[in-house]
Each structure stands twice: as structure tokens, then as C-alpha cells.
Amino acid sequence: MSKIKIIESLGAKELSCMKGRALFQSLEYYDALIRSRSMSLRSGWKPYFFCVEDGGKTTAVLPVFERTQSSDEFIYDQCFVENFERRTKQKYYPKASLCMPFVPIEGSKIITDQDAYLNKEHIQIMEEWSKAQGHSSFHIALPSHTEYDLLDFMGYISSDQSLGYWHNRNYVDFESFLLSLRSKYRAQIKKERLHIRFKGYQHFFLRGGEIQGRHIDMFFDLFEATHHRKGWKMSQLQREFFHLLAQSRAKDMLLIFLTQKNQTVAASCCFFHDDLLCGRFWGSTHDLDYVHFEVMYYLPIAYAIEHRVSKMEIGFMKVHKLIRGFESKSVRSYHRSLIPEVPLHYPEALSESFGDKQIFLSI
């Protein structure tokens, strides 16, 4: 009969089964997050690893996080806070979340050798633990579609979003990809890429052992400068996180640089999660026309075609991504109050419609 043990230290032998797994479920990923202090109490994260044991051996791990804020977990629950605190006279935080930190990856959050999904026992154990910790609520970010029926049956409420994916349909080159698009979208992309060539931009890719510490610094300097220039809230991911990940999982990192007259003007950092290419972070020296699209969309797609990568995920869907060849996929996150007399109420989602696509943007 299986049992569950809750582990707080990454050094515990029970977590050795996570080593070498798909990037965002790997021991190396969490080690880089914690050692770089990207994931810390100060940044609103306290990790707990629920280890499912059978015959004295860890067969699965569920990463659950105590949160004192809601950023970087892709659970858009800010609308719950005011109503919860008004009705209970208690603070909404801390809460608990089952998620993949810093990445909006859909699918079951169970880390295991086999295809596995949440079951009622898993959820009840995590809920009971969370209640004992004094959490206001329990949340599950972007679970597998296979888990939706169970979560609906158990009384969780859901919020809808839409992720953007590009699919490699055996394209032989970028031009063959363009031919699959509507003519107006194809013309727009050609216009943007022609501008890039006219300005004399050149590019290069780095992956695995090609990535050196100076390349990480070049990327991060641009990433940080762009956040400051645009007034964006800076990511909690620290420079050291990227250095540590390059040391332990460089094969799962792809750096893309754009240069002009031998000067680096823009860069992006993408990750591989098994056969999924994930577009994530970018930066540039200045606000340059179409450079964002080039380093975040077109060059990663070109790389994926050349290296036969099956698909790319680019975060939550927006209209400008649809125009550039990405397709929307409806996904959900799930939420539950741990105080039965004060259930969580989710307001109607905002929606944008275009063509035959519907995108839901959570408030």
C-alpha cells in the first residue's frame, strides 16, 4: 500500500527520482531556483514535495507551494482576495498551489516514470495538509485535460485561459511554414522579416556546450534592461538561476542572439521540456521595430523546423500571436476555498474573439 511523505529539502534521498527528468519537473530545475534565491520565502515561495512511496521506494512526487503572493504560478486568483478577506475577516495569503513555477506548462503535475494523473486520494491529502497549515485555499495550475472531470466532481471551480502553440507539420523550411498561413498573415510576416534583413541584422543560436557564462550575462543584461526601460515588473528569476541551469541542463537551453554591425542588439532564452520548445524571455538594447517578433517567434520557429522539434509553446494567447502562426488551446486552472462556508467565486472571464478563435482572459 502506498503512503505519502512530505519533504522540504531537495537533498532528501526521496527526491533523487527527479534527477534528469523533463526540465521543469527535474531536480536540477528546482535546485537552480532555490540556490539562486529565485524561489525563496522573500519572493513568496515555500516548496513542499509530496512523495508517494510504495514498498519503501518513491514512485511519484507532487510539488506543492505555500504562496504569499500569486505571481509566476499562472493562477489568476487576485479577484478572490477582496471577497474572501471581507467575508472571513482573515488574510487570503498564505495559500497553497500545485503548479510548475515560472512556466505555464499544461499537464499533470505528478512527477513519475509512468503516465499518471491526480486521483481523489492525492487531492484529499494535499487539501488536509493545506488546511492544517492555515492556508485560505488550494489551487491547481493548468492540470491535464484528463483531470478536469475529477476536479469538477470534487467541487473545484475553474478559470479558463488559452495557451499559444506552434505545431511543426513537417515543414521543410520557414517558407513552407508561411505557405500554410492565410495570405494576409503571410504578407505581414514577410514584411517584418524583410525589415530585419534591410536593417542588416544577423543572428546566431547557442545550445548545450556552446553556451558560456558570458552568453548568459549578455542575455540577462538585455532582459533586465528591457524590463527597466518598459517599466515592467522584473521577473523573480535571478541572473544566477540562468547560470546554474546552464551548468546542469545546458542541453535544454537555447539562446538566440540578434546582432547589427557586430553589436548584440537583442536576445531570447528558450527552454526544452522534453520535445516541447518553450519561448520565454527576451530583451533588446532599444525599442526596435519587429525585433521582438524575430527573436521570440520567427527564429525559434526556424530553429524548430531545422531541428525537427515537434511543437513550441509561447505562453498565454493574444491576437498578435495568432497572426504569427500560433494556435490557441483552451486550458483551465482549478481553485477551492479551504473554508467551506466561504466558497471562492470567479467573475465572468473577459473574452476576445477573432475569426473562429475564442480566447479567455482571466480577470
Residue 161: predicted pLDDT: 92
Q: What is the pLDDT of residues 173-186, one digit of tens each?
A: 999 999 999 999 99
Q: What is the pLDDT of residues 200-209, one digit of tens each?
A: 999 999 999 9
Residue 147: predicted pLDDT: 97
Residue 202: predicted pLDDT: 98
Question: What's the pTM value of the predicted model, to 2 decimals?
Answer: 0.92
Tell me which amino acid residue 71 is: S
Neighbours of 74 (CB within 10 A): 24
> Is pLDDT at 332 greater than 60 in this prediction?
yes
Can you list the domains of the chain with their CATH numbers?
3-160+332-356 (3.40.630.30), 169-309 (3.40.630.30)
Tell me which amino acid residue 332 is: R
Q: What is the pLDDT of residues 72-109, one digit of tens each?
A: 999 888 888 988 999 999 999 999 999 999 999 999 99
Contact (Cβ atoms closer than 8 angstroms) between residue 151 and residue 143: yes
Residue 348: predicted pLDDT: 52
Q: What is the pLDDT of residues 235-281, one digit of tens each?
A: 899 999 999 999 999 999 999 999 999 999 999 999 999 999 998 89
User: Cell match 488574510: residue?
Assistant: 91
Q: Which residue has the higher pLDDT, 9 or 172?
A: 172
pLDDT-derived band at 357, boundaries 50, 70, 90: very low
Interval 197-201 mean pLDDT = 98
Interval 285-312 mean pLDDT = 97
Residue 143: predicted pLDDT: 97
Interval 187-208 mean pLDDT = 98
Average pLDDT taken over every residue of the chain = 92
Q: What is the pLDDT of residues 151-161, one digit of tens each?
A: 999 999 999 99
For residue 325, which of 174, 141, 218 has the smallest C-alpha distance?
174
